[in-house]
Structure 1
Amino acid sequence: MTLSDLKQHEFENDIQRFMQIREQVHEEIKKISTYTATLDQTNKRLIAHFDVFKKLSEETQEHMKVVIKEAAREMARESAQQFSQLIKDSITRRLLELDESIQNAQSVLNETMGDKYKKLVLFCFIGVVFSGLIGLGGGYFYAKQNTYALPESFIRTYARGLSAPPIIEKQHAEKQTRKK
């Protein structure tokens, strides 16, 4: 094989290879037309279903609005219940603390008032006793200082006056017997 034969042989191989490539390209081009037809049909179906998709999208939007509103209402209701329970517990706890404080204040006030009344009664009793002692002592000293001393003759006359009624009755009875 000479160089020209070798080149000839390579040239023929290259031509065969190009021919095979050309046939493959033609086959691929034929496939492209079927794929293009399939793609065209798919596009037509997609366009035909576009109105359905649009309607589904609008319905979904409306449905989502309703679902979101319901979820918001439910969350608000649940939050309100939980907050009301928390507030109720807090108020109950504070009311119990206030009630306990009021009871403590009431017991302190009762003790204070009891002590106050005990002191008042004690001081009144002491005042009455002292007033009585002062009254009796003052009366005794007043009576002692302001007692008039009577002469003895007056006292004897007074004593005779006390014994005089029986004597007078006796004399009167004697006079009556004489008159008869």
Structure 2
Amino acid sequence: MNRSDKAAIIERLKSHAENASIAVVTDFKGMPVEKMTELRCALRDIGGEYHVVKNTLAGIAFTGSQHEVLSSKLKENCAVALGFEDPVAVAKALVEFTKKSKTFSIRFASLEGSFLSDAQVGDLAKLPGKQELLARALGTMNAVPTNFVGLFANILRTFLYALNAIKEQKEAA
């Protein structure tokens, strides 16, 4: 690989890493190509990417970016999974793939510049996804006006029952 190819790889990975909210370093030693393709497709479906890059090139690409904490820890064969939209979805996909493959493992990650161990990535995968969190927030915001309307409807209903009772009392007398 010549110098211009290496520079192109570094620039491409650097631009992708700057836009990524999470970068997960994984071990793929001994993984067949079919499994790696399956992982790449799963990550692409949720807004992620999977790159196999030399450690020195990845270290240079991560230097100066928000995932700089990873640049000094890259050793042996490793690959980088980048997530752009929902970091929890990427963590879930990688943890799920770890359960399926004996040769694949998560080493560590960077979530918006914060270092995460493999156990912390597993904990991140247990959190609800972005869509579920948005649905919960919307449900909570919707509950307040709904309860408010219900409260006033109950007050009006009670008032109408009282007026109806007074009407019936006057008609009986």
- Same fold by TM-score greater than 0.5: no
Greater CA radius of gyration, 1 or 2? 1
Higher RCO by CA contacts (8 Å cutoff, separation 6 or greater): 2
Structure with the bigger percentage of helix: 1
Structure with the bigger percentage of strand: 2
TM-score (norm 2): 0.29
